Amino acid sequence: MELHELTIAEARRLLAKREISARELTAAHLSRIEALDPGIGAFLTVTAEEALAAADASDQRLAAGRAGPLEGIPLAVKDVLCTRGVRTSCGSRILENFVPPYDATAVARLRQAGAVLLGKLNMDEFAMGSSTENSAFRVTRNPWDPDRTPGGSSGGSAAAVAARLCLGALGSDTGGSIRQPASHCGVVGLKPTYGRVSRYGLVAFASSLDQVGPFGRRVEDAALLLEAIAGHDPADSTSAREPVPAFAAGLEKGIQGLKIGIPAEYRAAEGLDPEVGRAVEEAVSDLARRGAQPVEISLPHMRYAVAVYYVIAPAEASSNLARYDGVKYGRRAQDEAELLSMYRKTRGRHFGPEVRRRIVIGTYCLSAGYYDAYYGKASQVRSLIVRDFAEAFRRCDAIACPTAPTPAFRLGEKTADPLTLYLADIFTIPANLAGIPAVSVPCAFSSAGLPIGLQLMGKAFDEETILRLAAALEEERGLFRRRPG
């Protein structure tokens, strides 16, 4: 038995029966990271000694019958989540040496559940990107084809799960940064409802859009991780006081009678690869054979979603990233006696080009004389998008569409044209603007052997329904049995 091939659910059962130990499971993944990650680039920091110590503690709790729900499970987290005593760089030179004194709530809850954390995963700098090429430290490669991107900004998380370097991972999703890389890497990625998971300790990009969520090889794994990290947190004023269902147990309810909305607007979306379009149609047909009912719906303001996002998100980023000025923490330009010059050189030298671009866009949109024309107007259109979803969900229980318009593209293919790269999130951005849950589940492989994901969006705080649909498709297709070469 190859321990790295286990799912979270399988590993839990074997650990509970004491057929394997947490130390054996952790050591197997650390060995795999050492062997394979130099060619993938998923990890920025590997905490091997800490992981083995945590695994030994898990074995003691397992032996004493005090195991948590994720006891002994080796996981990793995106480097945008604060980890006590472990570097948290956000993929940026400006935070290259930042070591937080506390854990993000999502990380703390994984530890409380007994999880073993293997390290921190690569990402686009400050989560700004769709290919993980904007990391200041290294490029992450897609395990299915090392010449292609794993997606972004949580590319390290998706690649690590796909390559069996960990059993599951956490990422963050502001405009598709969990779902798009999940699609490109052939794994399951879930963006929960805004407020379902605490954002405390998540380094902010766009505060009204950011959300923490899980990656897993199977839908059940993502459900188990969501159960562990979800729930109200008094440290986050946007955290919702909603009960946390038993998401994994809910997968057994089936999908008979569920209505799946098919938006007419997505079929004519710019840049949709015909292979992706066909794969999504076939996936919906599979769900219909299992008892779901497809219905036509309309989301008329979706065509404005990308434009709205690239006003709101940079505006919020401009405000959030103002704190990185070389004074409080992070790197500072040296030998600058004059304060404003130190600010300029610190930010100019240590922020990457994509982060600087978005700060400039956001500052412009918030400036006097332009606020109403840009940020104010974008906020109004965002309200129309929220209303479109509310109307659509009166006719259906979930909405299906592609996760990404194409399979994974080649590294360097879109770096010279940021606007083309921004359109990689054309299908994922609306869920963030509306604050609703969405999941990407593998639904097919392209003629080139690259994964294609189906996105399922649900009503606020109804992650259970979209997970049930995703699990039904997973069982129907069985694509989880395929693995990168």
Q: What is the 3-state secondary structure (H, E, C) of the chain?
A: CCHHHCCHHHHHHHHHCCCCCHHHHHHHHHHHHHHHHHHHCCEEEECHHHHHHHHHHHHHHHHHCCCCCCCCCEEEEECCECECCECCCCCCHHHCCCCCCCCCHHHHHHHHCCCEEEEEECCCHHHCCCCCCCCCCCCCCECCECCECCCCCCHHHHHHHHCCCCCEEEEECCCCCCHHHHHHHCCEEEECCCCCECCCCECCCCCCCCCEEEEECCHHHHHHHHHHHECCCCCCCCCCCCCCCCHHHHHHHCCCCCEEEEEHHHHCCCCCCHHHHHHHHHHHHHHHHCCCEEEEECCCCHHHHHHHHHHHHHHHHHHHHHHCCCCCCCCCCCCCCCHHHHHHHHHHHHCCHHHHHHHHHHHHHHCCCCCHHHHHHHHHHHHHHHHHHHHHCCCCCEEEEECCCCCCCECCCCCCCHHHHHHHHCCCHHHHHHCCCEEEEEEEECCCCCEEEEEEEECCCCHHHHHHHHHHHHHHHCHHHCCCC
φ, ψ at 424 (rounded to 5°): -65, -20
Query: Pairing relation of β-strands 188-191 and 116-121?
Result: unpaired
CB atoms within 10 A of CB 246: 11
Is 377 assigned a catalytic role?
A: no
Looking up tokens 């010449």, which residue turns up? 147
User: What confidence score (pLDDT) does residue 429 get?
Assistant: 98
89, 130, 154, 177: the active-site residue: 177
Looking up tokens 């259906």, which residue turns up? 396
Which residues, in sequence order, are bridge partners of residue 458?
A: 398
User: What confidence score (pLDDT) does residue 444 get?
Assistant: 98
Is residue 428 within 8 A of residue 153, CB to CB? The reply is: no
Is 177 assigned a catalytic role?
A: yes
Is 383 assigned a catalytic role?
A: no
pLDDT in tens, the chain (485 residues): 799 999 999 999 999 999 999 999 999 999 999 999 999 999 999 999 999 999 999 999 999 999 999 999 999 999 999 999 999 999 999 999 999 999 999 999 999 999 999 999 999 999 999 999 999 999 999 999 999 999 999 999 999 999 999 999 999 999 999 999 999 999 999 999 999 999 999 999 999 999 999 999 999 999 999 999 999 999 999 999 999 999 999 999 999 999 999 999 987 787 899 999 999 999 999 999 999 999 999 999 999 999 999 999 999 999 999 999 988 878 888 877 788 899 999 999 999 999 999 999 999 999 988 999 999 999 999 999 999 999 999 999 999 999 999 999 999 999 888 888 999 999 999 999 999 999 999 999 999 999 999 999 999 999 999 999 999 999 999 999 999 98
Which residues, in sequence order, are bridge partners of residue 188?
A: 216
Cα dihedral sign for 259, 263, 267, 272? negative
153, 157, 172, 440: the active-site residue: 153
User: What confidence score (pLDDT) does residue 267 get?
Assistant: 78
CB burial of 318-346 (b: ≥16 within 10 Å; e: otherwise) equals bbbbeebbbeeebbbbeeeeeeeebbebb
List the domain boundaries for the chain. 3-259
21, 78, 131, 191: the active-site residue: 78
User: What confidence score (pLDDT) does residue 352 get?
Assistant: 96
Residues 6+ away with beta carbon under 8 Å from 341:
none
Say how many residues make up the chain: 485
Please check whether the domain covering 3-259 is classified as CATH 3.90.1300.10.
yes
